[in-house]
Structure 1
């Protein structure tokens, strides 16, 4: 289901709020755009290279306090 999906984008309204309404987790990246307010993003990253550790932690069930919004 949607709760197993992780949506990654750089716009709060389109890439965070939309997926969250559908039940997905959302990652806001600031690699190309600077959104000051992360909104309801589950995670905020500066570069896409930071995404892999988040996915690994989610798969393992470990918490992600260093990147969690």
Structure 2
């Protein structure tokens, strides 16, 4: 069964498109933000992370694993 992804702020369902962000706390995904709920600062942070990090998955404790892009 697949989990239904919803925006943490407005409750909108993710339908497979759009620039959604994952909310991360202490390396663990804790929520999602739809494009309409993202602040400018959150969007800039996501663009910087996407440009500089390669996400490889999660460890056995649920923390995201990423390495710096070269």
In the superposition, the TM-score normalised over structure 2's length comes to: 0.31
Q: Larger C-alpha radius of gyration, 1 or 2? A: 2
In the superposition, the TM-score normalised over structure 1's length comes to: 0.31
Structure richer in strand, relative to its length: 2
Structure richer in helix, relative to its length: 1
